Amino acid sequence: MVSSKGISVESVVSFLENLAANPSSIPASLREDDKLRKRLLSAIPKLVPELEIPVEVGQRLFYSPLELIAARVAVDLDLFNIFKASPTPLSTEEVAKRTGKSPNPHLLTRILRFLASVGMVREAGTGVWSSSHYGNNLSGEGEYAGIKSTMDNCVLAGFAIPEYLRRHAFNPPEAHEDTPFGIGNREGSEEPTFYEWLAKRPQNARDFNVYMEYHRTGVRTWLDRPEIISEIKDALEKITEGKKGEEKSVAFVDIGGGIGHQCKALRTKVPEFKGKIVLEDLKEVVATAEPGEGIEKVEVNFLQGQPVKGAASYYFRSVLRNWPDPSSRTILGYIRDAMDGDSLLLIDDLVLPDQGAHRYETQLDLTMLAVLNAEARTEAHWKKLLSEVGLEVKDIVFYEEDAREGVIIAKKMVN
Ligand SMILES: C[S@@+](CC[C@H](N)C(=O)[O-])C[C@H]1O[C@@H](n2cnc3c(N)ncnc32)[C@H](O)[C@@H]1O
């Protein structure tokens, strides 16, 4: 069979088969050309369901949670790091020894066999295993934290979405305390929400915070758009005009900034940055943060107020997606009251397109529903939300195309 461009379908399939069987033969140009690589990554998953027959759909879809579940077991046994560190393939017995946990050898074989069948390890021979590109991509502290945080903190909430929607007759309430997470994670009344639940579980909280620090490593961030820094510098000049010492004024407040990774990243990227940098988060999060020199830590519950007044910029990254509109109005209302006429509000978040949202965006949106009864918003939704609390959008600077991450720059409305 010959395609419209004269290439035989047989040769395309053989070419792809060969790449899959011998990953070292993947041309460097494909790994290095990000646009081309992403085109292929986007095409293959769309092609798979087009080619399947029903029984194959079932095999793929019904068992898909097992990939994450097995990865979680692999993390407990440190398998990805063990294989990455080993220059030669390892027998099952040797793997068992290196885990230090004496796993039952038969059970370990079953786990390894599953991991090999999905590509997370390689089967180098019968009962002999080695690292794979997929498994290596999952090794390391940040990846481990991501697997643990997703499995231990979020997955049960996701599984509870259908039950939650049935209970609410497919009309979810606006209250941020009423969530699928509440059904899936069986929280007590003293810990009604995800963050209160985390506060009582230090290991879960640590995994979540490390994952938050790590999860955008290697992709573009707001700091790759110099015009945002210029806007903050201009705002700082305006708010300090006529006053002595820009250094004493607050240039940047990272609200819900976790353990301070964006504050640190800003200091590193713009060492000459003038004015104070402030990290705000809940008491228990700020207590574990070590943002480094020149970054002030402030304990804040942003549902109750904003202590830093008249800063040049107030920055939220991946925070407002955690809150439904009524709570977001409360949070933003406190910021509006703290803002000067020249202060900037910077919302670093997803801005969904009206049509054709990417899978990265839609899966994040439903995760927000699951965990926090919240959502990812479209541009029109953001504009409406901000205008409801007296703020107006001046600009939206996108820095990541696939998942339309961008910074919404807003100011106080002039009456
Ligand atoms: C999704 S994380 C984002 C963290 C960080 N901005 C980032 O981009 O990695 C949301 C953050 O909001 C914080 N948070 C949740 N509820 C809060 C509250 N009521 N007051 C202040 N911070 C809160 C959490 O502790 C967490 O660090």
Tokens representing residue 415 in the block: 């009456």
Whole-number pLDDT of residue 186: 82
Q: Which DSSP letter does residue 154 get? A: I
Coil, strand or helix: which one is 383?
helix
CB neighbourhood size of 414 (10 A):
7
Nearest of 189, 184, 150 to residue 164 by alpha carbon: 184
Amino acid at 337: D
Mutation test residue for ligand 1: of 215, 282, 303, 321, the one with most atoms within 8 Å of CB: 282
CATH 1.10.10.10 fits 65-137, yes or no: yes
C-beta separation of 398 from 408 below 8 A: no
Question: Which pLDDT does position 245 carry in this prediction?
Answer: 59
Count of CB atoms within 10 A of residue 65's CB? Answer: 13
Starting from the edge strand earliest in sequence, which strands make up the sheet with 128-130, in order? Answer: 90-91, 128-130, 122-125
Contact 309, 412 (CB under 8 A): no
Whether residue 301 has its Cβ less than 6 Å from ligand 1: yes
Q: What is the dihedral of CA 306, 307, 312, 314, to 10 degrees?
A: -30
Nearest residue (by CA) to ligand 1, atom 9, is 212
- Helix residue spans in 102-225 (DSSP H): 105-117, 133-137, 141-149, 155-159, 161-167, 180-184, 194-199, 202-214
User: Contact 330/303 with Cβ under 8 angstroms?
Assistant: yes
For residue 259, the CA-to-ligand 1 centroid distance in Å is 9
Helices 141-149 and 65-76: angle between axes, nearest 10 degrees: 130
What distance in angstroms lies between residue 381's CA and the mean position of ligand 1's atoms?
21
How far apart are the CA of 371 and the centre of ligand 1, in A? 13
The dihedral region occupied by 352, where left means phi > 0, alpha psi between -120 and 50, and beta the remainder, is beta
- Ligand 1 atom nearest the C-alpha of 198 is 25
**Helical H segments across 241-341, by residue range:** 261-269, 283-288, 325-338
From 196, 299, 304, 319, the mutation candidate for ligand 1 (largest count of ligand atoms within 8 A of CB) is 319
Contact 280, 255 (CB under 8 A): yes
Q: What is the pLDDT of residue 415?
A: 72
Asked if residues 404 and 358 have their Cβ atoms less than 8 Å apart, the reply is: yes
Q: CA 225 to CA 409: how far, in whole Å?
A: 13
Q: Which pairs with CB-CB distance under 8 Å and at least 24 residues apart come from 25-29?
A: none
Tens digits of per-residue pLDDT, 228-285?
999 999 999 999 886 765 567 999 999 999 999 999 999 999 888 889 999 999 999 9
Closest by alpha carbon to 68, among 160, 186, 181, 152? 152
As a whole number of angstroms, the distance between CA 40 and CA 5 comes to: 18
Below-70 pLDDT ranges, the chain: 1-5, 242, 244-247, 402-403
**Is any ligand 1 atom within 6 A of the Cβ of residue 300?**
yes
H helices, E strands: number in the chain: 21, 11
Q: What is the pLDDT of residues 156-196, one digit of tens each?
A: 999 999 999 999 999 999 889 999 999 998 877 778 799 99
Q: Let me know: does 346 contact 312? Beta carbons within 8 Å.
A: no
pLDDT the model gives residue 272: 85
CB 313 within 8 A of CB 340: no
Q: Cβ(253) to ligand 1 under 6 A? A: no
- The finding on whether 193 has its CB within 6 A of some atom of ligand 1 is no
Q: For ligand 1, say whether the CB of 291 is within 6 Å of any of its atoms.
A: no
> Can you give the pLDDT at residue 320?
98
Could you tell me the residue ranges of all domains in the chain?
A: 11-62, 65-137, 141-214, 222-412
Q: Which amino acid is at 214?
A: Y
Helix (H), strand (E) at residue 95: helix 92-99
The number of the ligand 1 atom at minimal distance from the alpha carbon of 258 is 27
Task: Name the closest-CA residue to atom 18, ligand 1.
Answer: 301
Distance of alpha carbon 93 from alpha carbon 104, whole angstroms: 10
User: Ligand 1 centroid to 91 CA: how many Å?
Assistant: 44
Q: Residue 7 corresponds to which tokens in the numbers above? A: 């290439």
Q: Does an H or E element contain 250, and which? A: strand 250-255
How is residue 171 written in tokens? 């009309």
Distance 398 CA to ligand 1 centre (A): 22
Class (C level, CATH) for 222-412: alpha beta
